[in-house]
Amino acid sequence: MRAVQVRDHGGPEVLGIEEVDVPEPGPGEVRIEVAAAGVNFIDVYFRTGAYPAQLPLVPGVEAAGTVNAVGPDVTALSVGDRVAHALVPGAYAEQQVVAADRLVAVPDEIELETAAAVMLQGMTAHYLSNDAFPLGEGHTALVYAAAGGVGHLLVQLAARRGARVIGTASTDEKLDLARGFGADDVVAYTDVDIVDAVDELTGGEGVDVVYDSVGATTFDASLECLRPRGCLVLYGQSSGPVQPFDPQTLNRKGSLFLTRPSLAHYTSDRGELEQRAADVFGWIAAGELDVRIDRSLPLAEAAEAHRYLEGRSTRGKLLLVP
C-alpha cells in the first residue's frame, strides 16, 4: 500500500509517498481502509520536529474509513463497519491499524469524508465551547481565525449555546464566511487593533472568554480583551509558541484565568469520546452544523496540503483522500 513518510524533519518537501507493507492488526486492533484523512496543524508540528516523534513516521492523526481486518480479541467491530478516529498516528496512508477502542461508529447518514473532517476539529470545538469554558447566554466570546478549521465550527457551536460571538480573520472573504457561520461581529485583526475593536464592541467591558488558536502574535492582546475574571483558552499556536510569562500578569489584568487545553485530555474517557462524536454527528445529520470542506487532495499531494495550511489559506477543512 502507499503511505506518506517523513524520514527527516523539515519543510513540506519531506512528505514523500512510498510503497510500504500492509500493516496487520494485533490484539485489540483493527485495520481500516482510509476513505479520507484530516490534515491538521499538529501534523505540521510532528513534521518539523516541534513536537517530538520517532522517525520515520507516517503523519496524520485523523481519519475515517471502513474496517477491512479485525485482530484477536476485538468483538465490538466487524469487517465492513464505518468508523472514524482522532489522535491516532499514521493516517496519511491507504490503510491504518487503529486500536478498536479509539474508533467511533460513523452513522449511515454521515459521509466518511465529513466524518474525517470533524473528528479532530469538531470535537475540539465541542469541548472548547462546552467544557474548557462552558458558554451560555449572556457570554461574549472572541474566536480567532473564525473561518479556519476549528474556528468555523467553534463559531457555530458558540452561537448555538447562546453566546455572542466576535470572530477575527485576515481577509474579507474569511470575514464574510465567519459572519455566515454565525459570528455577530467580525474584526479584520491584521488591519485594526483587536483590543480597540473589542473595547468598542463591548462598550469597554471586554469579553468573557477568548479562544486563541494563533498564539505568539495574539497572546498579549488576548489578555487585554478580557473582562476582569475572564478566561483565556489558549488552544493553539498557528503563529508560533507563546513565550514564558509571569503569572502575576493575570492578577494585574483582573484576576484572569488561563488554560492551555488539549483534545486528548477531553476525550481520554471512552464515554466522553463517544458523547462528543455523537453530538457532532447528530448536529450534522440534523443540518444544524455546517462542515466546510475547503479542499480534498490526493495522498501524493500531502506537501501541497501542508503549504496551504501553513500559508494561511484554509477556509474550513483540508483532507487527503487516498
Interface segment toward ligand NDP; rule CB under 6 A; list 15-23, 24-32, 104-112, 306-314: 306-314
Q: What are the CA-CA distances from residue 158 to residues 73, 97, 99, 201 (Å)? A: 41, 34, 32, 17
Quick one: cell of 90?
499514521
- Contact pick of 68, 130, 170, 275 for ligand NDP (by CB under 6 A): 170
Rounded-to-integer distance, Cα 84 and Cα 105, Å: 7
Cβ 138 to ligand NDP shortest distance, Å:
26
**Helix, strand, or coil (residue 209):** strand
- Taking the least distance from each CB to ligand NDP, the nearer of 147 and 201 is 147
Interface segment toward ligand NDP; rule CB under 6 A; list 40-48, 74-82, 105-113, 133-141: 40-48
- Contact pick of 5, 40, 96, 129 for ligand NDP (by CB under 6 A): 40
Q: Does 235 bind ligand NDP (CB under 6 A)?
A: yes
- Contact pick of 121, 129, 140, 267 for ligand NDP (by CB under 6 A): 121
CB under 8 Å to 255, separation ≥6 — which residues?
228, 229
Cβ 18 to ligand NDP shortest distance, Å:
26
The site string for ligand NDP over 242-261 (x = CB under 6 A, - otherwise) reads -------------------x
Residue 30 β-bridge partners? 70, 98
Q: Which of 30, 87, 34, 90 is nearest to 59 (CA)?
A: 90
Rounded-to-integer distance, Cα 206 and Cα 58, Å: 43
Question: Using an 8 Å Cβ cutoff, are 49 and 89 in contact?
Answer: no
- Taking the least distance from each CB to ligand NDP, the nearer of 106 and 128 is 128
Q: Does 187 bind ligand NDP (CB under 6 A)?
A: no
- Residue whose grid cell is 475572564: 230
Q: Does 167 bind ligand NDP (CB under 6 A)?
A: no
- Contact pick of 151, 182, 206, 322 for ligand NDP (by CB under 6 A): 151
- Taking the least distance from each CB to ligand NDP, the nearer of 18 and 176 is 176
- Contact pick of 129, 222, 237, 267 for ligand NDP (by CB under 6 A): 237
Q: Which of 84, 80, 69 is nearest to 34 (CA)?
A: 84
CA–centroid distance for 205 within its chain:
29
CB under 8 Å to 183, separation ≥6 — which residues?
143, 146, 155, 159, 165, 166, 167
- Taking the least distance from each CB to ligand NDP, the nearer of 199 and 310 is 310
Interface segment toward ligand NDP; rule CB under 6 A; list 26-34, 64-72, 149-157, 197-205: 149-157
Rounded-to-integer distance, Cα 28 and Cα 81, Å: 16
Q: Does 150 bind ligand NDP (CB under 6 A)?
A: yes
Quick one: cell of 281?
454527528
Applying CB under 6 A, the residues found at the interface with ligand NDP are 40-42, 120-121, 124, 145, 147-151, 169-170, 174, 213-214, 217, 235-239, 261-263, 310, 312, 314
